[in-house]
Amino acid sequence: MSKIKIIKDKCIGCGLCISACPVDAIKLIDKKAVIDLDKCTLCKACLESCKFDAIEIKEQTKKAKDLSDYKGVWVFAENSNGNIAPVVFELLNKARQLADDLGTEVSAILLGHGIEKKAEELIQRGADKVYLVDSKDLGHYISENYTIKIAELIEKYKPEILLAGATTTGRSLAARIAVKCYTGLTADCTGLEIDKDKKILIQTRPAFGGNIMAQIISPNFRPQMATVRHKVMPEAKPDPARKGEIIKESFDSTNVDKRIKFLDFVKEDVSTVNLAEADVIVSGGRGLGSPENFKIIEELAKNLDAAIGSSRACVDAGWIPYSHQVGQTGRTVCPKIYIACGISGQIQHLVGMQSADLIIAINKDPDAPIFKVADYGIVGDLFKVIPLLSKKLKEAKSPK
């Protein structure tokens, strides 16, 4: 019994599926496509490519559990040092829409120490309920401890959807919870909506470094889990008049995972390094020529309250620390404005920044690939253009 098959009557032997197959598993034999099942990974790329519906895949048939008990949309209220992570407000906004479409309520799950007063803030931003677990054992985020408690809450209250930010914390945590609860998890979503007929969550996310988009569902498992990319969705605005319920839950100290010990946290200069939070990023590339020349990038960044990014070339040359690297092997960023200075735009760099709302490129080579993704570009000598741009933007921003 194979899970994928070619319907021979429909196949015209056009070969589109052959070029779509990433693992070279399809061949034409007697003008019909034939799939080598030893090579096929069931990735479905061919399904998409076939214009004649000639490829069939056997979908999941089982029902994992009784799903009707699962109700409500949950948001993991990530926090550190007593502050709610900004992505949480974006999740609450989206959760509100999803819950309204499903006719259900939004709950936030807030774990930490000394964070009780933050529950109100979550209610103001759209939570109907806050499950609050305030414990000295949860003061610092440890995946194992948080997983135990959240899995327990899921078991007890049965949410149908659970959202977390696609942050280092959210991604490490959600992956553990999903395995523990045997449910589906979609990483780094940029779109979420409800299929109103089936009442399920449709999750859209980039793959292959943003070169393609995929829509993913987990129809037979609950909760449907997703981590969501920061700065893609708008924040919920606070409404001081909103009322909600705070449900206190306790953490059993004997559940602390003694195998992991938190030793220390070292904060880096957040204003220039926190690429995830920055609305504006100014990035420098090989075109700068030397590490000293990052000064002009710093100057422009300062005038725009921007974080500083970099291409891989500068990091590899030791001009700037790795934490600034944008791109495939660095960070993926999604600011409102990305200014690429002296960056040619290798695909490895583009996949890390092409989802920025607005891209500005400055490069002396008019054929540089960065101009293909840029909304605005200046072809010119960056040592002349950038200082001038710094000055003009400063003037434009300051009140006349």
Told to check if 400 binds another protein by CB under 8 A, we report no
Q: Which of 259, 398, 399, 400 binds another protein (CB under 8 A)?
A: 259
Number of Cβ within a 10 Å radius of residue 223: 26
Minimum CB–partner distance for residue 247 and another protein (Å): 26
- CA angle (215, 168, 357) in 5-degree steps: 55
Q: Which stretch binds another protein (CB under 8 A): 67-75, 130-138, 241-249, 347-355?
A: 347-355
Told to check if 257 binds another protein by CB under 8 A, we report yes
Name the residue nearer to another protein (CB basis): 239 or 268. Answer: 268
Told to check if 7 binds another protein by CB under 8 A, we report no
Name the residue nearer to another protein (CB basis): 295 or 347. Answer: 347
Told to check if 337 binds another protein by CB under 8 A, we report yes
Q: Which of 260, 289, 291, 295 binds another protein (CB under 8 A)?
A: 260
Name the residue nearer to another protein (CB basis): 6 or 185. Answer: 185
Told to check if 52 binds another protein by CB under 8 A, we report no
Told to check if 388 binds another protein by CB under 8 A, we report yes
Stretch 266-285 residues interacting with another protein (CB under 8 A): 266-268, 270, 273-274, 276-277, 280
Name the residue nearer to another protein (CB basis): 13 or 358. Answer: 358
Told to check if 392 binds another protein by CB under 8 A, we report yes
CB of 204 within 8 A of CB of 215?
Answer: yes
Told to check if 97 binds another protein by CB under 8 A, we report no
Residue 170, SS3? helix
Q: Which of 10, 58, 136, 248 binds another protein (CB under 8 A)?
A: 58
Minimum CB–partner distance for residue 287 and another protein (Å): 15
Q: Which of 69, 114, 155, 168 binds another protein (CB under 8 A)?
A: 168
Closest CA to 228 of 156, 282, 276: 276
The structure tokens 């999803």 sit at 98
How is 45-107 classified by DSSP, letter by letter? HHHHH-TT--EEEPPP----S--TT---EEEE--EETTEE-HHHHHHHHHHHHHHHHHT--EE
Q: State how far the Cα of 245 lies from the Cα of 163, in Å rounded to an integer.
A: 19
CB of 252 within 8 A of CB of 145?
Answer: no
Name the residue nearer to another protein (CB basis): 95 or 273. Answer: 273
Stretch 201-220 residues interacting with another protein (CB under 8 A): 202, 206-220
Stretch 291-310 residues interacting with another protein (CB under 8 A): 304
Name the residue nearer to another protein (CB basis): 135 or 346. Answer: 346
| Residues ≥6 apart with Cβ < 8 Å to 122 | 75, 77, 84, 88, 92, 108, 110, 130, 244
Minimum CB–partner distance for residue 313 and another protein (Å): 13
Burial class (CB in 10 A: 0-12, 13-18, 19+), 266: exposed
Stretch 171-190 residues interacting with another protein (CB under 8 A): 171-172, 174-176, 178-180, 182-188
| Residues ≥6 apart with Cβ < 8 Å to 108 | 74, 75, 76, 77, 88, 92, 119, 122, 127, 129, 130, 131
Told to check if 265 binds another protein by CB under 8 A, we report yes
CB of 272 within 8 A of CB of 307?
Answer: yes
Total residues contacting another protein by CB under 8 A comes to: 123
Q: Which of 7, 45, 247, 256 binds another protein (CB under 8 A)?
A: 45
Told to check if 322 binds another protein by CB under 8 A, we report yes
Residues listed for the chain? 400
Q: State how far the Cα of 234 lies from the Cα of 246, in Å rounded to an integer.
A: 25
CA distances (Å), origin 363, targets 180, 286, 386 = 49, 11, 10
Q: Which of 55, 236, 313, 360 binds another protein (CB under 8 A)?
A: 360
Name the residue nearer to another protein (CB basis): 98 or 148. Answer: 148
Q: Which of 136, 245, 336, 365 binds another protein (CB under 8 A)?
A: 336
Supply the DSSP symbol for 252: -
Pairing of strands 106-112, 73-76: parallel
Stretch 130-159 residues interacting with another protein (CB under 8 A): 143-144, 147
Minimum CB–partner distance for residue 139 and another protein (Å): 13
Element (H, E) at 29: strand 26-29
